[in-house]
Amino acid sequence: MIIFLYGKDTFRSKKKMEEIVASYKKIHKNGISFSHFSDQNLNFQNFKNEIEINSMFQEKKLAVLENVFSNVNFKEKFLEEQNNFLKSENIILIYERKEIDKRDSLFKFLQKNSKAQEFELLEGEKLKNWAKKEISNYKVEIEANAFEFLLDSVGSDLWQMENEIKKLASYAKGKKIKKEDTEILIKPKIENDIFKTIDSLVEKKKDKALSLLHRHLEKGDSPLYLLSMVAMQFRNILEMKDLMEKNTPFYEIVKKSGLHPFVAKKSYWQAQRFNSPELKKIYQKILKADLSIKTGKIEPETALDLLISGI
């Protein structure tokens, strides 16, 4: 059996892939018959050997193939031996994050010969229902105007939507989420500039980092929101560094982080520029700045300036 998951909504397609893998592992607890091939380890011969060798436990195997469409050699060999895979009792799950040319020969084959599921971006009522359900998972309520602000600010990007809802729930601490909460914490299309700011810090260009932060402040962006974004990204970098020091392969780091692929790759690059003691020291400074602002010891803008200057 071949299962094919693809589409612009990589959040839901990834969740579906993880759901299938989790269901399989629940039945086959030893994990010996499961394999995952992606990026650096996407080798056709290794995949073929894994799927064709009989299991000593006489159980169906599950092989996940991630992002095969950009691997021309893999695609060609897979199509050459397509009949063997179609006859197999094992499960091949093809999960594609990137945009696919629907004229591609592998895509046409999978459309005809697999259980294919396309994940389009959610819009309108479908997006509202998804967001309502996600909010209810955190056992919090949200005011109608705050909910509309959330939807208008984030749109169909469920990666960002999940992150924003998580932040709002944490900020509300069990209380109803209000419009002013969303205005403080949610600023659309700012994340890329935050990455640029942190890139500047990594490159020891503090003047540039300060300039980028001041640009946001001049536009009216909340200092608390800016600080929360810096804190979140350095937390991502810390997690990446921890996995890197455990000699975890890159594809496993991306998978375990649970981050959007763009954020994961950016965080991985940034983590390489720091050592662990430096990162822990920076994160402590961020926490100290946050506490100083919330206790009224220092003005938010001043705290941000001192934080960036001290990194």
Q: Per residue in 211-245, pLDDT tens?
A: 888 877 877 777 888 888 888 889 889 989 999 99
Q: Tell me the two tokens of residue 226.
A: 């800016």
Give yes or no: residues 259 and 234 share one domain: yes
Out of 98, 118, 138, a domain closes at 118
Q: What is the CATH number of the domain that holds 256?
A: 1.20.272.10
pLDDT, average across residues 285-295? 90
Give yes or no: residues 245 and 272 share one domain: yes
pLDDT, average across residues 120-140? 93
Q: 205 — phi, psi (to 5°)?
A: -105, 75
Give yes or no: residues 299 and 248 share one domain: yes
What per-residue confidence (pLDDT) applies to 199?
81
The alpha carbon dihedral of 28, 30, 34, 38 has a sign of positive
In whole angstroms, what is the distance from residue 303 CA to residue 292 CA?
8
pLDDT, average across residues 28-37? 82
Amino acid making up residue 276: S
Structural domain boundaries enclosing 94? 2-118
Give yes or no: residues 8 and 103 share one domain: yes
pLDDT in tens, 175-189: 999 998 998 888 655
Out of 118, 139, 155, a domain closes at 118
What per-residue confidence (pLDDT) applies to 109?
97
Per DSSP, the three-state class of 57 is coil
What per-residue confidence (pLDDT) applies to 255?
77
The model's confidence at residue 258, banded by pLDDT at 50, 70 and 90, is: confident
What per-residue confidence (pLDDT) applies to 191?
55
Decide if pLDDT at 152 tops 80.
no
Give yes or no: residues 167 and 223 share one domain: no
Decide if pLDDT at 162 tops 80.
yes
Centroid of chain to Cα 182: 21
Is 26 exposed, middle or buried, given 0-12, 13-18 or 19+ CB atoms closer than 10 A? exposed
Out of 158, 185, 212, a domain closes at 185
What per-residue confidence (pLDDT) applies to 189?
53
